[in-house]
């Protein structure tokens, strides 16, 4: 987009006082003089660590109990927050048969330790300190220095507007729910037990909360039962029927959940569609969907199967750790459709992309309809999508009232013309990249996101 930034930012601060020098991290990383120091001290520290572990193996159970009581006493008297990392290392020694690692050696000795362990730990820390002093001296003697600035002065009359930030990146490899290992729900492995607990909780929450559609319309389940125990290779995790269906189950619904930490993949989508031949509707619920999965959902041509792409509210992962307690009706599972985009050749090798809306299923009228772009909170365009990482090339926010609210909150008179480009549903002209593909990511008012990928074809 063109640069229409305004000077509307928060009380702005200007750093004015110089504090001691520091060497940039890049200079430290490229300092070849550090290598001989590390090489020299590596063997010395290994020998010192071996002496610590030899002494550790001779600590009696009575001494370990005495040290544990010290830790518990401080925590009880001064509170859990008073216990430092040094306290834990000093009083919570590795269990019998375990050893110190370089990163777990105590910082200082304790009087309750045997004399041999006190001497060994003091010797290790003395060796470590010598190494650190040489490193610090080497860093100070080599490389450029930079000034840090501190104690800023407040400049009144200037505003800074900030907001939440997101980081886009390549997702790490995840253990897919479609893999043989991850579906050992009846096994005794910790991975199998964790998966079983995750799927059980998801089925319970979906049964209680139902599915939230456009305009907060909710479809609740007449029946929803877990079926993943029946077969370790099943792609379907639950089956049932909605409230408005025949109690005998004539409107059968299948449900598949994506991984707890990772996106729903195209392989899982295809497996669920193949496994849902005897069902009328399929719900695929996940915390996110990768681009290939979204493309696979767009290409579904099954004549009798209605597929719902449901997003699980991200903070549900926190709830699984006991940090949140969702209430009934908290919209944990919300259905969001596919973006409807139109590509147009603008001449001179350029293209434009129009966001026509989002196709979403209407459960009341039993039809798929486009919401129109006015239901979109934001949409982003990657003009050269490589299939791995979404890079924002252009960003738009169609809700025009949002800009008026910002101006009102700041007490400013805004120029409508610059903001009109940000609220557009038509992109600026762009040239196709090497991949000859674009990706459009759409965000709805609830924070759900969905992406579509299109090829640039003449």
Q: Hey, where are the domains in the chain? A: 1-7+339-458, 25-144, 170-335
Q: How high is the pLDDT of residue 232? A: 46
**170-335 CATH choice from 1.20.120, 3.40.1350, 2.115.10, 2.40.128:** 3.40.1350
Q: Which residues contact 243 (CB under 8 A, 6 or more apart)?
A: 219, 220, 221, 222
Mean pLDDT of 233-244: 81
Q: How high is the pLDDT of residue 209? A: 84
Q: Which residues contact 229 (CB under 8 A, 6 or more apart)?
A: 185, 186
Give the pLDDT band of residue 174 (cuts 50, 70, 90).
very low
Would you state the structure tokens that stand for residue 34, as one six-digit string?
Answer: 């550090």
Give the pLDDT band of residue 119 (cuts 50, 70, 90).
very high
Residue 330 CA to residue 326 CA, distance in Å, equals 6
Q: Please give the C-alpha separations between residue 235 and each of 269, 272, 274, in angstroms, as whole numbers.
A: 9, 6, 9
Of residues 193 and 176, which shows the higher confidence score? 193
pLDDT digits (tens, 9 = 90+) for 336-375: 777 788 899 887 889 999 988 776 655 555 555 566 777 6
Weakest mean pLDDT among 109-113, 159-163, 248-252 = 248-252
3-class DSSP assignment, residue 329 = coil
Q: Please give the C-alpha separations between residue 91 and each of 83, 106, 108, 254, 449, in angstroms, as whole numbers.
A: 11, 9, 11, 53, 48
Q: How high is the pLDDT of residue 419? A: 67
Q: How high is the pLDDT of residue 333? A: 78
Weakest mean pLDDT among 198-202, 367-371, 394-398 = 367-371
Weakest mean pLDDT among 82-91, 104-113, 205-214, 225-234 = 225-234
The chain-wide mean pLDDT, for the chain, equals 77
Residue 146 has pLDDT above 60, yes or no: yes
The Cβ of residue 450 has, within 10 Å, a number of other Cβ atoms equal to 22
Residue 430 CA to residue 74 CA, distance in Å, equals 64
Would you state the structure tokens that stand for residue 222, as one six-digit string?
Answer: 């007449």
Asked whether the beta carbons of 354 and 426 are under 8 A apart, the reply is: yes
Residue 12 pairs in a beta bridge with: 155
Of residues 53 and 409, which shows the higher confidence score? 53
Residue 182 has pLDDT above 60, yes or no: no
3-class DSSP assignment, residue 56 = helix
CA terminus-to-terminus distance, the chain: 24
Model-level pTM greater than 0.75? no
Would you state the structure tokens that stand for residue 79, as one six-digit string?
Answer: 């509170």
Weakest mean pLDDT among 28-32, 65-69, 186-190, 257-261 = 186-190
* Domain 1-7+339-458, CATH: 2.60.40
Asked whether the beta carbons of 263 and 284 are under 8 A apart, the reply is: no
Long-range contact pairs involving 247-253 (C-beta distance under 8 Å, separation at least 24) = 247/222, 247/223, 249/223, 250/280, 251/280, 251/281, 252/278, 252/279, 252/280, 252/281, 253/221, 253/224, 253/279, 253/280, 253/281, 253/282, 253/283
Asked whether the beta carbons of 200 and 224 are under 8 A apart, the reply is: no
Asked whether the beta carbons of 435 and 456 are under 8 A apart, the reply is: no
Would you state the structure tokens that stand for residue 336, as one six-digit string?
Answer: 């969001």
């Amino acid at each position: 987009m063109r640069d229409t930034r305004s000077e509307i930012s928060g009380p702005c601060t200007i750093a004015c006082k110089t504090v001691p020098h520091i060497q940039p991290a890049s200079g430290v990383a490229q300092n070849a003089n550090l290598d001989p120091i590390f090489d020299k001290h590596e063997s010395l520290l290994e020998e010192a660590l071996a002496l610590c572990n030899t002494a550790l193996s001779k600590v009696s159970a009575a001494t370990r109990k005495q040290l544990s009581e010290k830790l518990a006493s401080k925590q009880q008297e001064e509170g859990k927050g008073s216990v430092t990392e040094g306290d834990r290392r000093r009083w919570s020694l590795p269990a019998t048969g375990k050893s110190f690692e370089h990163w777990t050696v105590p910082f200082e000795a304790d009087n309750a330790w045997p004399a041999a362990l006190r001497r060994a730990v003091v010797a290790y820390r003395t060796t470590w300190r010598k190494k650190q002093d040489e490193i610090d001296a080497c860093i100070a003697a080599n490389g450029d220095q930079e000034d840090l600035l501190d104690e800023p002065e407040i400049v009144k009359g200037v505003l800074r507007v900030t907001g939440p930030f997101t980081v886009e990146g390549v997702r790490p490899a995840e253990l897919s729910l479609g893999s043989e290992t991850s579906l050992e729900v009846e096994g005794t492995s910790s991975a199998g037990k964790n998966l079983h607990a995750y799927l059980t909780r998801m089925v319970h929450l979906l049964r209680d909360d139902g599915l939230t559609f456009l305009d907060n319309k909710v479809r609740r389940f007449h029946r929803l039962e877990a079926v993943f125990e029946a077969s370790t290779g099943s792609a379907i995790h639950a089956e049932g029927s909605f409230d408005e269906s025949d109690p005998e189950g004539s409107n059968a619904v299948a449900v598949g959940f994506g991984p707890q930490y990772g996106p729903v993949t195209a392989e899982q989508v295809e497996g669920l569609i193949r496994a849902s031949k005897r069902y009328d509707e399929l719900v695929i619920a996940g915390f996110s969907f990768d681009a290939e999965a979204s493309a696979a959902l767009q290409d579904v041509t099954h004549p009798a199967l209605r597929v719902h792409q449901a997003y699980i509210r991200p903070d549900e992962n926190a709830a699984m750790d006991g940090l949140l307690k969702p209430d009934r009706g908290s919209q944990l599972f919300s259905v969001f459709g596919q973006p409807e985009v139109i590509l147009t050749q603008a001449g001179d090798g350029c293209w434009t992309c129009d966001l026509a809306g989002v196709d979403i299923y209407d459960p009341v009228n039993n039809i798929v309809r486009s919401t129109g772009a006015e239901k979109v909170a934001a949409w982003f365009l990657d003009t050269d999508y490589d299939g791995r990482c979404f890079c924002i090339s252009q960003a738009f926010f169609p809700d025009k009232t949002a800009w008026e609210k910002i101006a009102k909150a700041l007490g400013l008179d805004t120029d409508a013309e610059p903001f009109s480009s940000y609220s557009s549903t038509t992109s600026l002209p762009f040239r196709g990249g090497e991949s000859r593909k674009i990706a459009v990511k759409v965000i709805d008012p609830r924070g759900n996101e969905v992406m579509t990928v299109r090829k640039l074809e003449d």
